[in-house]
Structure formats: C-alpha cells, structure tokens
Amino acid sequence: MEQSIENKLIKADEAFSEWKKVPFEERQKLIAKAAAILKKNSEKFGEIITKEMNKPISQAISEVEKSALMMNYYADAENILKSEKIESEYAISEIHYVPKGVILGVMPWNFPFWQVLRFATPAILAGNTVVLKHASICFGSGNSIEDVFVEAGFPKGVFQNLEVGHKEVKEILEYDAVKGVSLTGSGKAGGEVAATAGLNIKKSLLELGGSDAFIVLDDADLDEAAKAGALARLQNCGQTCVAAKRFIIEKKVEFDFLPKFIEEYKKYVAGDPMNKDTKLGGMARPDLADDLEKQYKKAIDNGAEVLIPLERISDTEFKPGLINVKEGNPILQEELFGPLGMVMIAKNDDEALQMANDIPFGLSNSVWTKDKERQLFFIEGLESGTVNINRMTSSDPRFPFGGTKASGYGTELSLLALKEFVTPKTIIGN
C-alpha cells in the first residue's frame, strides 16, 4: 500500500477515536452546515458532475440539492442510537450502540454526489469515519465532497477521498483500522468486495443492480403512466439502478398504452448537457455505450422486436431505443444500463407478477392500477425492496432503500441506516 494512502487510513482511525465521543446533536449541527454549503453551491457542484459523466446540468444540480435535502433530514433526525433501557430482573440492563470505526465507501459514477452522501451521512452521524474510493472519472466530485466536510467544520479525517483504483480496494478493506464497507455498483464488484469483507470478518452493505418492472394494468391512468414511464427509463440517460427497465403491459391495453408511451419516449432527444433545457445527455463513457449496443444486438438476435431502434449518434449519445421482448430472451437476465427499454405483454395479473419476479434482481418495482385489491396482490407478491403504486421509483430520505436477491443487502436512507455500521452492545449487571 502506498504510504500516502496508509497515512489517510491512520488519520481516519485517529479521527474516529475522538469523533465517536462527540454528542449526536453536535454531529447533527455539522451535517446541517454541510447541507447548507451543498445547497449554496449546487450550480458549481452540478457543473463538476456534468463535466465528469455527461449528466444534464439541470439533473446534476437537482442531484446536489437532493443530497442537501437528505443531509437536512439526518440533521433533524431522532437519535435512535441513544442507550436503551430494557426491563428485566437485573439492576442494569441496557443496549448501547457503538460505532464500528473507519468505513470504506466504494461508489459509482452515475450519481457522484448522491450515492456518496447517502452512504456517508448516516455512517458519520452514527460516529464512524469514512474513506471514499470513488469511480475513476469522479475524483473531482470526491474531492469536492471532502472540501464540503472540511468547510462545514468536521474534524480532519472524518471524511477523506482516496484517489485510488479498483486494485487497491482489497488491500484497503483488509487494513485493520477499516471495519466495514458499503458498495454501490455491479454484481461482480459487489461479490468481490463482499468476499474480501467476509474473509476478514467485516461488515458489508451492497446496493447493486436492478432490472425494475413498470407494470401497467388495464385500469391504470394510461396518459400518466406513459409520461412517468418515459422519465423512469430515460432519466440520467437510463444509467440508474432503479430506472424502469422492463415495461410489463396488460394485453387488454397494449394498443392503447404503447402509442402513448412511444410518443412520450421520443420526446427525449440527446443534447448539450450544459444546457439547462436538455433532458437527455450522453452516457458516461464510450465503452459503456459499446456494451449497450452489444446487449441490443444480443436481444435482437434472440428474437426481440424493435419498436424504436437504438441509434448511436456519437461516442456516448444515442437516440433511445425500445424493444418488445418475449420470455426466454437471455437479455432479460441482464441489466440494461443506458437508454434502452424492454416491453413485455402479460395476459393477466398472475402472468405480470411472474414476469416481474423472473429475474435475478430485486430492487424496486412500479405498479399502475387504481384497484386496491390488485395493488395488494402486487405489494405482497413482488420480490423487491420497494414497491411503488401509481408512481415511478425515486428514493426518499425518510424511507429505507435497498434490495433483495442479486440487488444486494443492507439498508440505506431512513433512520434504519443509522444502525448499519454500529454494534449493539448488551450491558447486564446487578
């Protein structure tokens, strides 16, 4: 390990020894200051995001503002980590929540501020310190986030950005002072990190891929569903783990819904990401665009019908595509991370549910129906961390976020996230 990296890990560990003693309410005050700095500088930070990964500037600014909103949620949150007294026959019977120490964050490029702060904020509020390994194209975002923590008055070492590659992650996670890891990324990366954490008996939290279903039934508001569906697929150029990727349409409304959906879909035209009116930018890197084209060809070679062709217009830009896919197509077992959507037609609710669940992933799903009994059928039957009724998926600081199956494990957001990187210590005595 490079001495400069080890020095930062030592610094994080030293900072932890003091930070864990700081009262919860004092930590919250600093988080509120950081949120104010983010909000005040949202345009500046938004430009950094856009330059790094091509996100339309309006969406990049919104990402920074949403991060500030989330931090304010935690700045005002109830302290669920205070010692709990348990009724028992003992004179002393309590649970204390003890922070674990230095936590490594391995974060992706698609939401360079949000993903980092979504993990780091509750971890730091719980008394831990954080070191960040950001995506290689997002070192500017990582350094800017560290600057925000410093400017807000956090002790040096509480949050540090490490400019390292994937090869260094294993060595950092094996370092004794590092007590846990949170990763948002691919299943392959998650498996490798979880294996290292497991071998070293360290806590891991994984937020991995998804292939979310957007289910439209015959009693849905088709106009609203079509508009929301296009946004749910193409926001952030489709590079979102919880983006709608499979549109499961009840056969009764196939010919009513699809024209509306296609009309909304075609409104997304790639443009200059620095223009505030642009809704669709390019993908983050040319190699990612190459991968999407290969998946598109694979789907067609296995029988997919083209509804709107996926057309590449530059190294990273596309005219968004839409394909009709039947069960058995191997593309359904993969995650499409870009502006390409899949349509499937279901005979009834049972078949729609079976289609939705017949994938390795289990992150979030959206169901469009006005009928309460049908809503309950899907709420109980869908295998995912979140079910949305008559709305597209979007995370909210107040509610837990996480998946099941190959989409990972552990909880981000909500008060529950405060307990991810703490140890409940039982105290019993007379």
Active site members? 207, 241
> C-alpha angle with apex 414: 284 to 69, nearest 5 degrees?
60
Alpha carbon distance 236, 110 (integer Å): 8
The residue written with tokens 């959906």 in the block is: 261
Alpha carbon distance 19, 309 (integer Å): 54
Structure token digits, residue 254: 């196939």
Return the C-alpha torsion angle 5, 7, 8, 9, nearest 10.
90
Amino acid making up residue 118: R
Structure token digits, residue 417: 């996230």
Alpha carbon distance 401, 385 (integer Å): 7
Return the C-alpha torsion angle 389, 358, 406, 248, nearest 10.
-40
The residue written with tokens 């709107």 in the block is: 308
Residues 6+ apart with CB under 8 A from 121: 31, 70, 71, 74
Count how many Cα atoms sit within 13 Å of the Cα of residue 247 in the half-sphere of its side chain: 29
In contact, 2 and 31? CB cutoff 8 Å: no
Cβ atoms within 10 Å of 235's Cβ, excluding its own: 21
Structure token digits, residue 203: 């806590």
Helix axes 114-125, 24-40, angle to 10 degrees: 160
